[in-house]
Structure 1
């Protein structure tokens, strides 16, 4: 991302890295900041920053089994693009575990944590927040779903205390197994 910002804005690495972090904090994603402040085309950015290798990711058959055993409709919603999410799922051995995959493009390029972004994706999929749960690694992205009536689970190595986080786990597979 930093390299793309450097090239697109013609700035040095330190400034590009500062802008990338600033936009992420202020807008929810670097892309949203680039769009808001520089009128950048999201398609070119998403294609460039998601053109990466997935060698570091390993399949997790136990997690795949736990996700597949969950009742109801299972969707992925990411601030990345849907094609990127599909590649991540494939690298983790999770292809076929979800009924739908939504990227930032499905929310009109509005990012999580914006409530309107969630509303757009949930309406598109027919999600009833009162009958759903949101699993997320960024605590900011759980506030809107919680306010909409969803159960919320923070998935990260370190817990984050906030009123909109109902559960925390650093072991998603184990957490899902305990739910069942």
Structure 2
């Protein structure tokens, strides 16, 4: 889909993990390890058993946490606090992305299957805290994860976002399907994992491996199209 499709953007909806920072920093590996440790301790499993159950719960319920809630009565707040207690030192500040976001017209919000507290820590580490107008997290979604469509509707309503004027940026292909169904333009950032690649299709309108460069191209295109008398990016 050409960049002209992005020219109408009024709101940018960004996922957090492996989207605003590269998956190559392996930060989410820490969260995955904490999930396995939580399952092992809570259900008295060895590491192999915990790993297998984690994958099964993710496959059946959309997130491991939802599966633990429904199948094992886990307190989601306790789970989130535990798995997000990680070392953020692999994250470097992101001045290139920060500079582009500062020049990006329209509102910018976060929609994450993680918690607002985790989002706040990550954004602070990246130096991006001031770039976003709001966060819609898994708690606000009443623990219903992407890609179930209802929390997408709730996110749009709570944050006052018009779907037709919104762009959603995600690292998991399947999570963009509800966004496209509701009328949002979608941007996929492949994270190199099996789960990230799952669910590719026509609902993905743009793909990029470099978010800052992609947004910079869009801003440059918008200036050109605006100079030609069309709506700017």
The 2-side partners of 1:105 and 1:69 are apart by 30
- Give 1:93's aligned residue: 127
Q: Note the C-alpha offset of 1:156.
A: 2.2
RMSD: 1.3
- Give 2:83's aligned residue: 49
- Give 2:217's aligned residue: 178
Give the counterpart of 2:167 among 117, 130, 133.
133
The 2-side partners of 1:157 and 1:17 are apart by 20
CA deviation vs aligned residue, 1:130-180 (integer Å, no higher than 9, x gap):
110100001111000000000000012559541110100000000000111
What are structure 1's unaligned runs of at least 5 residues?
none
Counterpart mapping for 1:16-55 below 5 A? 16-55=50-89
The 1-side partners of 2:99 and 2:48 are apart by 43
- Give 1:165's aligned residue: 204
Aligned residues: 180
Secondary structure of 1:74's aligned partner: strand
- Give 1:3's aligned residue: 37
Moved more, 43-52 or 117-126: 117-126
The 2-side partners of 1:120 and 1:56 are apart by 33
Give the counterpart of 1:13 among 47, 50, 55.
47
Would the aligned equivalents of 1:29 and 1:111 in 2 still touch at CA under 8 Å? yes
* TM-score normalised per structure 1: 0.95
